[in-house]
Amino acid sequence: MRHTLTVTMLAAFTAFVPAAEALAQVKIGASISATGPAAYLGDPEAKTLRMLVEELNASGGVNGEQIELVFYDDSGDPNKARTFATRLIEDDEVSAIIGGTTTGTSMSILAVAEDSEVPFISLAGAIDIIQPVKTYTFKTPHTDRMACEKIFEDMRKRGYKKIGMISGTDGFGASMQAQCKSVIANYGIEIVADETYDPKDSDMTAQLTKIKGAGDVQAVLNPGFGQGPSIVTRNYKQLAIGLPFYQSHGVASDGFISLAGKDAAEGVRLPGTALLVADLLSDEDPQKAAVIAYKTAFEEKTKEPVGTFGGYANDAFLILMDSIRRAGSSEPAAIRDAIEATSGLAGTTGIYTFSATDHLGLDLSAFRMLEIKGGKWSLVE
């Protein structure tokens, strides 16, 4: 019994000790929420990164060196994310970090990355991650503000002046709700009904009934991600509200259509990336090659349909590898400079051009306005 205890404790200790280094390697780190409330986003991100590292190593690595990915799962907990970021930098000594599935985890990781001067590419949506610009932090997804702007652009085109909003109270939903409110006046639109729901709720008919009853609502917008928007969409159909319905980029995946049901999802519009309409892209579209490459590889490897979140991870990896190649070194400072110098890099989310004042690198044209028709994604006009 005594021995068992000692042996177990020793075993636990050795699990703690980092594995011995192999040949010359470029070490990159990842802290992603593959489990927990954001697992829906983090799981495809994790699978994407692992797949890409494997692929790249098989074809010779980068700058002649193999890539080692040190991967940690922070379960969506910002406290854990910070601990893992510290571990990546101080213990595993990585040259760069990709990760931060949620805004909370991203903010925690970037605090450590900025202090230790290691480049960090975030996979989360909030605009606060790159505004104000932080030296070492970049991000690949569109900001929630851009999603709002794209949606409002479309609404303005269709002549809507008064809309209702129903938002999830999770980080994504709440942040996008706030961003939308801050830019909506620029488009001459007014919010006349403003409801929320808890992401774990199973019925939003009460809130939607209130919106329906607000009288002069012309269209409805639902910022949120996960199961909430699917349920809202079904409730929307159940209540036969009949008004144009906009979702956010948080549900830009085939999963959303099957969960909401083809009938309920019919006519829903949302700002999505080229990834969802890969087959509809014209051959001259600069993103087509990157999109098709990722889609084929991911769907073959995981047997799951592709979604924008995995795409964010794909783009982050592309940018990082491209930067390491251009920098010709794996020194964090050199990599950072190379990332900032990225120009015209086509990813699945858009075409990236960073600068000292722009660590997002995308503009509204990267977003495509999509509409669900017959259970499939289609491009609007």
Partner 1 sequence: MTRFLTTKNVTLLVLILLVALSPLLFPSGFYYRVGALIFVNAIAVTGIVILTGYAGQISLGHAGFAGIGAYACALAPVHFGLHPALAIFLGAGISAVLAYLVGRPILRLQGYYLGVATLGFGILVSMVLNNERDLTRGPDGIEVPELGLRAVLKSIGVDLTNGEFWYFFCGICLVFGAWLALNLFNSPSGRALRALHGSEVAARTVGVDVAAMKLKAFVISAVYASVSGSLLALQNKFITPDVAGFMHSIEMVTMAVLGGVGSVLGAIFGAAILTLLPQVLTVFAEYEQLVLGLVMMLVMIFLREGLLPSILRKFKGRGE
Partner 2 sequence: MPELLQFLFSGVTVGAVYALVALGFTLIYNASDVVNFAQGEFVMLGGMITWAAYAAGVPLPLAALLAIVGTAAFGVAINKFAIEPARGAPVVSLIIITIGASIFIQGGAQLIFDKQIHTFPAFSGDAPLRIGGATILPQSLWVIGGAVVVFISLWLFFTRTLLGRAVLATSNNRMAAQLVGINTNFVMALSFALSAAIGALAGVLATPITLTAYSVGIGFALKGFAGAMLGGMGDPKGALVGGFLIGLIEALTAGYLSSQYKDAAAFIVILLVLFFMPQGLFGAKKTDRV
Q: Which residues bind partner 1 (CB under 8 A)?
A: 1-2, 5, 12, 15-17, 34-35, 72-73, 75, 77-80, 82-83, 86-87, 89-91, 103-104, 107-108, 111, 115, 126, 128, 169-171, 174-175, 178, 196
Spatial separation of the C-alpha atoms in residues 50 and 53, rounded to whole Å:
5
Q: Is 197 in the site for partner 2 (CB under 8 A)?
A: yes
Please name the residue ranges forming H helices in 240-287.
Answer: 254-260, 262-265
Q: Among residues 209, 218, 329, 353, which is the contact residue for partner 2, using CB under 8 A?
A: 209
Spatial separation of the C-alpha atoms in residues 174 and 167, rounded to whole Å:
7
Q: Is 169 in the site for partner 2 (CB under 8 A)?
A: yes
Find the helix or strand (DSSP H, E) in which 52 lies. helix 39-58
Q: Is 301 in the site for partner 2 (CB under 8 A)?
A: no
Q: Among residues 50, 210, 288, 376, which is the contact residue for partner 2, using CB under 8 A?
A: 210
Per-residue tokens: 237: 């159909």
Q: Which is nearer to partner 2, 39 or 351 (CB)?
A: 39
Stretch that binds partner 2, among 14-22, 60-68, 87-95, 223-231 (CB under 8 A): 223-231
Spatial separation of the C-alpha atoms in residues 314 and 333, rounded to whole Å:
22
100 binds, among partner 2, partner 1, none (CB under 5 to 8 A by kind): none
- Closest approach of Cβ 130 to partner 1, in Å? 14
Q: Is 340 in the site for partner 2 (CB under 8 A)?
A: no
β-strands 96-99, 25-32: how paired? parallel
Q: Is 170 in the site for partner 2 (CB under 8 A)?
A: no
- Closest approach of Cβ 323 to partner 2, in Å? 31
Positive or negative torsion for Cα 169, 175, 178, 180: negative
Q: Which is nearer to partner 1, 42 or 244 (CB)?
A: 42
105 three-state secondary structure: helix
Count CA atoms within 13 Å of residue 333 on its CB side.
Answer: 2
91 three-state secondary structure: helix
Q: Which is nearer to partner 1, 128 or 358 (CB)?
A: 128
263 binds, among partner 1, partner 2, none (CB under 5 to 8 A by kind): partner 2
Spatial separation of the C-alpha atoms in residues 283 and 48, rounded to whole Å:
25
- Closest approach of Cβ 153 to partner 2, in Å? 28
Three-class HEC string of 126-171:
CHHHCCCCCCCEEECCCCHHHHHHHHHHHHHHCCCCEEEEEEECCH
Per-residue tokens: 284: 């001259």
Contacts of 44 (CB under 8 A, 6+ apart): 298, 302, 304, 306, 307, 309, 310, 313
Q: Among residues 21, 198, 216, 363, which is the contact residue for partner 2, using CB under 8 A?
A: 198
48 binds, among partner 1, partner 2, none (CB under 5 to 8 A by kind): none
Q: Which is nearer to partner 2, 129 or 165 (CB)?
A: 165
40 binds, among partner 2, partner 1, none (CB under 5 to 8 A by kind): partner 2
107 binds, among partner 2, partner 1, none (CB under 5 to 8 A by kind): partner 1
Contacts of 184 (CB under 8 A, 6+ apart): 148, 152, 190, 191
Q: Which residues bind partner 2 (CB under 8 A)?
A: 34-37, 39-40, 43, 169, 195-198, 200, 202-203, 205-207, 209-210, 213, 226-227, 230-231, 234, 237-240, 255, 259, 261, 263-264, 304
